[in-house]
């Protein structure tokens, strides 16, 4: 038997992780190239970039949502996953 199918929520989270990681790698490579290929000078800014790009803010206060560019509704994701 095959493995159980992942939920939509899990697929979205995994894919978001891959997209975020790919974006950080591309920006990191561009940073190294702009610095002339010297990784020794670039590792600190790259670590800061990586740490800053992996932050996820979760709040149940709807009033805070207007302060962010992106917003995910967990009830909507749960309803979409239940329809599968």
64-83: per-residue pLDDT in tens? 778 777 777 778 878 888 87
C-beta of residue 17 within 8 angstroms of C-beta of residue 2? no
pTM listed for this prediction: 0.39
The DSSP line for 10-78 is HHHHHHHHHHHHHHHHHHHHHHHHHTTS-HHHHHHHHHHHHHHHT-------GGGGGGSS----HHHHH
Annotated domain spans of the chain: 8-82
Q: Which of 13-17, 32-36, 57-61 has the highest mean pLDDT?
A: 13-17
Mean pLDDT, rounded, of the chain: 76
Tokens of 48: 């800061």
What Rg, from alpha-carbon coordinates, does the chain have? 18
What is the maximum alpha-carbon separation in the chain? 52
């Amino acid at each position: 038997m095959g493995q159980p199918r992942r939920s939509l929520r899990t697929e979205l989270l995994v894919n978001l992780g891959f997209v975020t990681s790919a974006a950080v790698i591309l920006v990191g490579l561009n940073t190294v190239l702009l610095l002339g290929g010297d990784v020794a000078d670039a590792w600190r800014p790259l670590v800061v970039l990586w740490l800053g790009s992996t932050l996820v803010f979760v709040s149940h206060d709807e009033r805070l949502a207007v302060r962010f560019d992106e917003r995910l509704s967990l009830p909507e994701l749960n309803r979409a996953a239940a329809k599968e």
